[in-house]
Amino acid sequence: MNTASSPSSVARADAPRSSGSAGPRLDGPVPDVTLPLRFVLFGIFSLVSGIVMLVARPDLLAAYHYNQHIVAITHVFVLGFLLSIVSGAMYQLVPIVLETPLHSERLARWHFVVHVVSVTGMVAMFWVWNMKQLGHFGSGLALGAALFSWNIIRTLLRVRGWTVVSFGIASVLFWLGSVVIAGLALAAAKSTYELNESSGVNPLLAATLNGLRAAQSFLARFEPLAVMHSHAHLGVLGVFILVTCTIAYRLVPMFVIGEMQNPRRAWTSLWLINAGTAATFLAVLNQSPLKPVAGLISASGLLLYGLELHAIIRNRRRKTLDWGIRMFLTSQSLLGVLVLLGLGLSRPGIPLTPFSGQLETTYGFLAILGVAGLAILGMLYKIVPFLVWFAAYSRQIGRTRTPALHEMYSTRLQILGGGSWLAGLAVTIAGILASHPACIRAGTLLLAASLVTFAFNIARILGHLVHPQLQPIAPRVPASGGPLRTTT
């Protein structure tokens, strides 16, 4: 028996594993594709909602960010957009990466319901600044996060040994739990409590109220802005940037046909980002002069990540980079700008002036919509077509001709959307720095225009679920010189 093709000297980083239809995993590890898709669609809806709010109220970004409306819009983006898509992507990718089924799809479906209700309620309560009801909806979000973490942890525990990716996922879950607890504590600290203790009080209620009061008095030791900023760093760095790095270590080699080049470097990068997240949280919370040190720890982890990503791209086997990957890589280069800005802002003794306040707003805006947002938009062009293709066409393989993924949407619109997103980021940031509402509106309109192209493409992709484009399969050509060879 002959071997099939020309040998390659490329080393394989994956540990040898075996899987098969004759083995115990007859149903395969792949979850129902509608599960991640519903999180993705709610995420896109939230992104559109947030941008529409900014177009309607550009004045909010022209002033300092510590106000209820900016906090509400920020949570539209971080919970409605980013966390929804991260959750959906995890439910899709974790079983595939670990080659084991998700612990419970039913729990994940409950997570979706709880998540949507909680995020919607939280945003509304931020907008009207009702801290009591915010705490209730926030508790719902915490329940959803707990369901999500339980599901993913149980799935992780099915696999022996740790890889870079499973370590990254576990770290993200830890920081997700931390940021949710910190957020609930923040809401508790801003509430007032009244309890008529003279007329028989339910002991559970009394204990809960005492706990909330304790959280309130503990957080009263810290400066309110510092508490909010430390909470924000936990979420953005510990959850969204760390998850981006982790998923990139898996998806980028898959999409460019390559391998992780230096696993030790990848491990070190994630350890440093974890350490940097903890150090940044503590330093920001305590307004410590050691903030630059914490920033440098995070920056060194992100630098190693950038070096590894560059090495993966440089050694890829597919020479052409499609536009989804290009958008993702552009977002990761913006990460470098973000790190420099963060290090600059971490210098002790910077007075809070109108300009330094707008620099802080720029920092948050760039992190959420520049780095995490663009990364997700790029990856969605890889993930959504695949999910829809799988739902619409996978049963037809070999029986009819199915469309290629890039045929499911317009590449021209994708390029136009990516360009207008970058232009929108640049113009909005210029408006933020100049505290110029008209400029901010122009920038957010460019972001909205980008989303129109994105929505058009997503609608076109989803249209395949309703109207599959099936064509008769071409007559089979005898294999000679092609990828098929026969031996005995």
Can residue 471 be called a binding residue for another protein (CB under 8 A)? no
Can residue 423 be called a binding residue for another protein (CB under 8 A)? no
Residues that bind another protein (rule: CB under 8 A) add up to a total of 53
How open is the CA angle 122-123-127, to the nearest 5 degrees? 115
Instruction: Write the DSSP assignment of 408-457 as a string of letters.
Output: GS-HHHHHHHHHHHHHHHHHHHHHHHHT-HHHHHHHHHHHHHHHHHHHHH
Candidate ranges 6-14, 35-43, 357-365, 428-436; the one touching another protein (CB under 8 A)? 6-14
Among 12, 160, 221, 314, binds another protein (CB under 8 A): 12
Q: Which two tokens stand for residue 64?
A: 């300092």
Cα 210 to chain centroid, rounded? 35
| Contact between 88 and 37 (Cβ < 8 Å) | yes
φ, ψ of residue 485 in degrees (nearest 5)? -140, 150
Among 45, 110, 386, 456, binds another protein (CB under 8 A): 386
Kindly tell me the burial class for residue 4, based on how many C-beta atoms sit within 10 Å of its own C-beta (0-12, 13-18, 19 or more).
Answer: exposed
Among 19, 208, 210, 356, binds another protein (CB under 8 A): 19
Q: Is 401 helix (H, G, I), strand (E, B) or coil?
A: strand
Can residue 8 be called a binding residue for another protein (CB under 8 A)? yes
For residue 338, which of 313, 305, 360, 311 has the smallest C-alpha distance?
A: 360
Among 148, 240, 255, 421, binds another protein (CB under 8 A): 255
Q: Closest CB to another protein among 8 and 199?
A: 8
Can residue 390 be called a binding residue for another protein (CB under 8 A)? yes
φ, ψ of residue 472 in degrees (nearest 5)? -60, 145
Candidate ranges 82-90, 137-145, 181-189, 251-259; the one touching another protein (CB under 8 A)? 251-259
Candidate ranges 149-157, 172-180, 265-273, 402-410; the one touching another protein (CB under 8 A)? 402-410
Among 113, 153, 205, 484, binds another protein (CB under 8 A): 484
| Contact between 376 and 82 (Cβ < 8 Å) | yes
How far apart are alpha carbons 388 and 408 in whole angstroms? 9
Can residue 16 be called a binding residue for another protein (CB under 8 A)? yes
How far apart are alpha carbons 329 and 418 in whole angstroms? 12
Can residue 354 be called a binding residue for another protein (CB under 8 A)? no
Can residue 487 be called a binding residue for another protein (CB under 8 A)? yes
Among 34, 208, 210, 394, binds another protein (CB under 8 A): 394
| Contact between 54 and 368 (Cβ < 8 Å) | no
Can residue 14 be called a binding residue for another protein (CB under 8 A)? yes
Q: Closest CB to another protein among 426 and 484?
A: 484
Kindly tell me the burial class for residue 109, based on how many C-beta atoms sit within 10 Å of its own C-beta (0-12, 13-18, 19 or more).
Answer: middle
Q: Is 472 helix (H, G, I), strand (E, B) or coil?
A: strand
Q: Is 464 helix (H, G, I), strand (E, B) or coil?
A: helix
Site string for another protein, 302-321 (x = CB under 8 A): ---------------xx---
Segment 85 to 104, residues that bind another protein, using CB under 8 A? 96, 99
How far apart are alpha carbons 133 and 152 in whole angstroms? 29
Candidate ranges 171-179, 274-282, 390-398, 445-453; the one touching another protein (CB under 8 A)? 390-398
Candidate ranges 24-32, 178-186, 277-285, 292-300; the one touching another protein (CB under 8 A)? 24-32
Candidate ranges 26-34, 47-55, 74-82, 368-376; the one touching another protein (CB under 8 A)? 26-34
Q: CB 369 → another protein: shortest distance, Å? A: 28
CA dihedral sign of residues 156, 159, 162, 163? negative
Question: Helix crossing, 323-345 with 242-256: angle to 10°?
Answer: 150
Q: Closest CB to another protein among 277 and 402?
A: 402
Q: Closest CB to another protein among 412 and 485?
A: 485
Residues that bind another protein (CB under 8 A): 1-5, 7-8, 10-12, 14-23, 25-30, 96, 99, 254-255, 257, 259, 317-318, 386, 389-390, 394, 397-399, 402, 404-405, 473, 476, 479, 483-488
